[in-house]
Amino acid sequence: MKKYNQWSVYFLFIGLFFILNILNTYMLTASVLNRYIAPFTHTFLGEINAFLGNFSILFLIMTVAFMFVKKAKSRMVFLIVLTFFLNVFVYAMGVFNMFFGTAFSIPASTIFKNPADGFAMGTTLNALLELITYWRIVVFIPFVVLLVIYKLSDRQILSGMFLKITVQKTLSSVLLVSMTFFTAIMSYYQQFQATLPINAVKSTFAIQNLGVYPYYVGEFFGRPFDLDLQRFLDLETEEKIAEAYQFYNKNQEVYINAFDNKTYSNRLLLSEAVSDLFIDPSIRNDNQLHGILKDRNLVLIHLESMNSFLLEHATISERFVFLNRLFEQSFVFNNFYNNVGMGVSSDGELAVMTGLYPMGDRTLYWEYNDIPYELESIPMFFNEMGYYTEAIHGDKETFYNRDKVYPELYGFDHFHAIEDFIEEGYDVESGYLYDSVNNKVHLSPWISDYHLADFTYQVGSNLLQSSTPFMLFPVTMMPHTPYDFDPNGLRPGLFPEYENLISRITLKYISYVDYIDDVIKRFFISETGQDHTLDDSVYVFYSDHGSGLKNGDLDILLNESLSVIETRKILQKVPAWIYVPGDEMVDYGDYSIRKGLLVGKQHLVRSQVDLFRTIVELFDLPIDDSPYYGVHGLSTEPTFALDNRLMDVVMDDYIYSMKNPLTLYPLHEEVSALTFEYIKRFKMLSDIIVSSADMQSIIRDAIRGRYGE
Give the C-alpha separation, 130 to 127, whole Å: 5
List the one residue out of 481, 454, 459, 475 whose CA is nearest residue 399: 475
Reported as a pLDDT band with limits 50, 70 and 90, residue 371 is very high
Reported as a pLDDT band with limits 50, 70 and 90, residue 242 is very high
Reported as a pLDDT band with limits 50, 70 and 90, residue 160 is low
Reported as a pLDDT band with limits 50, 70 and 90, residue 118 is low
**Most confident listed range (4-13, 349-358, 544-553):** 349-358
What is the SS3 assignment for 606? strand
Which of left, alpha, beta for 12 (phi over 0: left; psi -120 to 50: alpha)?
Answer: alpha
Q: Which DSSP string do the residues of 445-514 spell out, in sequence order?
A: SS--HHHHHHHHHHHHHHHHHTT--EEEEEE---S-TTT---TT---TTSSTTTTTTS-HHHHHHHHTHH
Q: Which DSSP string do the residues of 242-310 spell out, in sequence order?
A: HHHHHTT---SSSEE-TTT--EE-SS-BGGGB-SSEEE-GGG-BTTB-TTTTTT-EEEEEEESS--THH
Least confident of 114-128, 457-471, 553-567: 114-128
CA angle (390, 394, 399) in 5-degree steps: 90
The pLDDT of residue 132 is above 70: no
- 8 Å CB contact between 589 and 595: no
- 8 Å CB contact between 605 and 337: yes
Give the C-alpha separation, 465 to 97, whole Å: 50
Q: Give every CB contact of residue 269 below 8 A, 6+ residues apart in sequence.
A: 287, 288, 289
Residues facing residue 601 across a β-bridge = 332
- 8 Å CB contact between 207 and 94: no
Higher per-residue confidence, 601 vs 132: 601
Return the pLDDT at 419: 97
Domains, the chain, ranges and CATH? 2-227 (no CATH), 291-619 (3.40.720.10)
Q: Give every CB contact of residue 161 below 8 A, 6+ residues apart in sequence.
A: 3, 6, 7, 10, 71, 72, 73
Give the C-alpha separation, 310 to 317, whole Å: 6
**Mean pLDDT, to the nearest integer, of 468-473?**
98
Give the Cβ contact number of residue 261 at 10 Å.
7
- 8 Å CB contact between 603 and 702: no
The pLDDT of residue 329 is above 80: yes
Total residues found in the chain within this entry: 709
User: Which H or E run includes 195?
Assistant: helix 167-195
Q: Give every CB contact of residue 282 below 8 A, 6+ residues apart in sequence.
A: 582, 597
User: Which H or E run includes 695?
Assistant: helix 695-707
Higher per-residue confidence, 281 vs 11: 281
Q: What is the pTM of this model?
A: 0.93
Give the C-alpha separation, 294 to 589, whole Å: 33
Return the pLDDT at 225: 73
- 8 Å CB contact between 320 and 346: no
Higher per-residue confidence, 223 vs 377: 377
Least confident of 53-57, 63-67, 652-656: 63-67
Q: Note the pLDDT tens digit of each residue in 334-346.
A: 999 999 999 999 9
Least confident of 108-122, 478-492, 672-686: 108-122
- Torsion on CA atoms 389, 362, 640, 537, rounded to nearest 10: -10
Return the pLDDT at 109: 82
Residues facing residue 563 across a β-bridge = none
Q: Note the pLDDT tens digit of each residue in 17-42.
A: 999 999 999 999 998 888 888 899 99
Return the pLDDT at 542: 98
Reported as a pLDDT band with limits 50, 70 and 90, residue 11 is confident
End-to-end Cα distance, the chain: 92
Distance of CA 465 to the CA centre of its chain: 39
The pLDDT of residue 651 is above 80: yes
The pLDDT of residue 609 is above 50: yes
Give the Cβ contact number of residue 420 at 10 Å.
16
Higher per-residue confidence, 120 vs 446: 446
Return the pLDDT at 223: 61
Could you tell me the maximum CA-CA distance found in the chain, to the nearest angstrom?
A: 99
Number of alpha helices (DSSP H) and beta strands (DSSP E) in the chain: 28, 21
Return the pLDDT at 101: 82
- 8 Å CB contact between 150 and 84: no
Q: Note the pLDDT tens digit of each residue in 211-220.
A: 999 999 888 7
Helix axes 673-689, 695-707, angle to 10 degrees: 120
**Local structure of residue 1 (DSSP, 8 states):** -
Residues facing residue 664 across a β-bridge = 656
Q: Give every CB contact of residue 705 below 8 A, 6+ residues apart in sequence.
A: 238, 242
- Torsion on CA atoms 177, 179, 185, 188, rounded to nearest 10: -90
Share of the chain above pLDDT 90, in %: 76
Distance of CA 517 to the CA centre of its chain: 24
Q: Note the pLDDT tens digit of each residue in 251-280.
A: 999 999 999 999 999 999 999 999 999 999
List the one residue out of 475, 298, 472 whose CA is nearest residue 389: 472
The pLDDT of residue 1 is above 50: no
Give the C-alpha separation, 688 to 698, whole Å: 11
Higher per-residue confidence, 173 vs 555: 555
Q: Give every CB contact of residue 437 below 8 A, 6+ residues apart in sequence.
A: none
Return the pLDDT at 167: 66
**Mean pLDDT, to the nearest integer, of 288-310?**
97
What is the amino acid identity at position 286? D
- 8 Å CB contact between 535 and 511: no
The pLDDT of residue 131 is above 70: no
